[in-house]
Every structure is written in C-alpha cells, then in structure tokens.
Chains A and B, each alone.
Chain A
Amino acid sequence: MSGETSSSLASPAAVAVPFKPPVVRRGLSAIVINHPTFVVGLAILTVVFVLALTADILYPGDPMDMVGPPLLWPFQDMEYPLGTDSLGRDVAAGLVYGARVSLIIGFSAASIGLLIGTLVGAIGGFFGGLIDNALARLTELFQTVPTFLLVIVIVAIGEPSLPVMALAIGIASWPTIARLVRAQFRSLRQQDFVMAARSLGYSNTRIIFMEILPNALPPVVVTASVMVAGAILTETGLSFLNMGDPNLVSWGSMIGGGREMLRTAWYLTALPGIATALTVLALNLIGDGLNEIFNPRMRQR
C-alpha cells in the first residue's frame, strides 16, 4: 500500500489528473438528494391527494351504503380488500372519502388561520405602538383558550358541517401565525430596504405586502404545513367525538365507529388511525424539509 502511494505521488501522470470541481446540484435534483425526508413526505401526501381526488372513480356511490356482509377482515374477500365494518360498509371506500374530508378541512382551516394570522401579525408588527399592543393582547387571549375546546364550542354553536368546522379550526389556530409574522415584521421593518422603500414614498400597504411580506414568508410556509396537520388531527378528534358532519365519512368518525369493537375487530380503528398518522407525518416531514430548504445557513449558494 505504502509503495503504491509513493509511486503515484512521484509519477507525473498522477499530477496531471485534472481537478474535478465538486458537483453542485441545483434545483429539483438538489432537493431530492439533500432532503430525502421531504421527498418521502411529499410522496405520501401526493398519494393521499390522488386517492381523495379519484374517490368518485374508485368507489362510485355513497361510502355510507351497506355493500357487503358485516365485519369482513381485510383480505378475507378481495372485493373488499380492507374489509367491512359492523354495518357492512367498505372500509377502503371510507378511507378514500375520508381523505377528501381530511384534506379539505386541513387546507381550508390552515388557509383561514393563515389569512387572519398574517393580517393581524403584519399590521401589529409593522405599525407597532398602540395598535400592536391591542393586537398582541387579542392574540394572547385566543392563545390562552385551548384550541380543541374553542373548536367544540364554535361547532356546537353553529352546525357540524365542513365549512363551520374549517372556520372554527381556522379561528382557533391563527395566533401561532400571528406571533410568527409579527416577529418577522418587527425585525424586517428596521431593515435598510424598508427604509429605502419609505424614502421612495411607497405607501404602507405596498411596503407591508410587496416589500416585507415576501421576505417574512418562508417560516410562515413551514408553520402552515404543520398547521394543516394540526387541523386534520382536530377534525379527526371532532368526528371521533361524533361532533363532525354526520353525512360525511371521515377518518375520525371511522375510528369512533370502530371503538366498540376494538378487541374483536381492531382493524376498524387501526386502518383510519394509520391513514391519519401517515398524512400528519407526511405534512410534518414536508414542514421540516421546507425549513431546511428555506434556512439560509443550510442553503448552498
């Protein structure tokens, strides 16, 4: 070994080997290679999305209908690959339609929370002073109330339908975003580029939305993906407690329905439980991945 090394050092051919610059990957391939968990998360979420979108094609008809004999175990009858519940409803159909409910709730609730939170945080952080004080107190007020209780109260006052649940979860979850956006605005408004925008005579609205907000977004997007996961969990919890929309199959209501047969037919709770866990995991992986991708200290120029 040592002889080999010394000979290669001495040989002029070894010196002449051209220097290969390290391969710097950019764009999509860099994301795939540097952030594998992000890609896994994205893949899982894509599958859930595709299933939710194609639910009508995969399982035409109402997933609430009795289609076969009750309490078939998974793989017992390949017509119902994931089995049937105590009323003979197809579990696979329920999961696919439940994915639809979970995603709709998750994304619409997060959007509502994002909208309220961004507005409150941006206005408070940008203007500061009395406005900021008032908005910060309001944020704290909402934050001290337990999210789930607040959602239950709002749904109890309204009706257990998808829009009401999305609104309720959105209203209960905006304080996180508001605090984040406010902190971002407070640090960004001191920056020279904002000073420059003011000296150029830009309006406050333009400075907030065109100058500061784009720079404040990366951590907000990260938090938003986790918020979607939180909203899905909250919806599952609500449906489990029978407070969800009774006309829709959701993963929560499936878990709730299978609860009584936990010892004899545990697959009835396990399957929607796994579906929920996988989706939430996927969203968290995406959030972590986005955090790494946006983090300037980890970003390669």
Chain B
Amino acid sequence: MTSKFLKVTIERGAAAKNAQQVFDVPAHESQTVLDVVSWIQQCADPTLSYRYACRVGMCGSCAMMVNGVPRWTCRTHISKVLDGNAVTIGPLRNLPTIKDLVVDMDPFFDKWVAAEGMHHGGRTREHPIAPVDEKSAARIEASAGIECINCSICYAACDTVAGNPEYLGPAALLRAWTLLNDDKDEGRDAILAAVSGKGGCHNCHSMGSCTAYCPNELDPMSAIAGLKRETTKSFLGRVR
C-alpha cells in the first residue's frame, strides 16, 4: 500500500440525500471494505448506519455499492477495489435506502414470494422421502441454486430491475428455477405461472450483470434462460 491513509467517500443515503462525506481511514494489511466501514463507525462517526452479521460471506447482509459496483463487503479486500488510495462506498442500488448504507430489503423478498420462491410440498410424514438423484441434470441445477445467500447483489447490478420496477429480478427467478429443478418440490404449475406474469422472466434481456457480479459465482442469467425455455415449451404446448 502506497499511502498510510485511505480516502474513503461514504454516500449517506435517505435523510442525508446521498450527501457525500469523506473520511481518512488508517490503512492495514488484509483489510476488507467492511473493516473500513466499521472503522469509520467506531472511530470517526458513530452515527453511521450499516448492516452486517456473519463477516464470512454466509449471511448476505453486508452488500454495498463499492465504486459503483455491488459487492459483499466482508469478503472484498479493500486493496482490490482502491482507485489510487480512494474508494467510494454507497447503499445498494435498486432498493429504497433507509439510512446511510442500510437499504430496505422488503421489495427484494416480496419478489421472492411473488415468484413462488417457497417450498411446495405434497407429501406428509406418512410418505417416504422423495428420492433425489444427485447426479441428475436437474439436481445439479438445484444444488447450485441453493447456494444463494440472498445478498441482493444481482438485484442491485441489474439494469432491467432499475428500469422496470415490476421485474422480479435475478435472485427471485433463480430461486424459482431452483425449486423447479428440485424433486422435493411439487409446485411446477404455480412456479411457471408466477414467472410468466407481468414482471416475469420474459423481461430479462440477458445482460448478465447478475452472473458477472454474483459473489458466490452462481449463474442467475442461465437460470432465467431455463425458465424462458420451460415457460415457452408449456406455452407452445397449450397452443398446439
């Protein structure tokens, strides 16, 4: 590191109306973006609000815009994102800001529900457990999809979400695709109907920002393509 101090600009949302505030933060080896934000809150300005929990990339609560790019701040080294010795940190895009770096995740999770992103069970305790073939193509898709940590980075990265508030977004649609491929889920018709609505998968333009920025290296864009295929097939099946 060239300088002993980092020039950190915080875009404080909501009440402060994105007022930019600059802090000098001591630089350290192996420092994450979250460490930097925490230092500001603990040592410079205790009124700064931000959100985190696990600090190891599991809980999905610490995502922020870092130099205009959505990132999980607990697993992002500051040295990787510094522009010279400066960095700009703001609240996640495409979600309403509550205060400073904290956004309201309600619209994000409401869309999970709207995409039928919940379990559709058909069996009772009397039934045997559904057999799962872990090598089947469908299970491989489902096993990848369940690694989503609901951090909303894909949602913040997506320009289609930005322009089309009804659009369910990559995370909710990836969830729908995961359930569609899960042998234990029996909600196929409900899921296909939910992702074919006004804000459904057909609004996606495959710009791929979801896949490019997913911190867990998941592929929502291809999942949405899968939904497009399945809904198109069932649509053409109905027409015939």
Do A and B make up one complex? Answer: no
- B-contacting residues of A (Cβ < 8 Å)? none
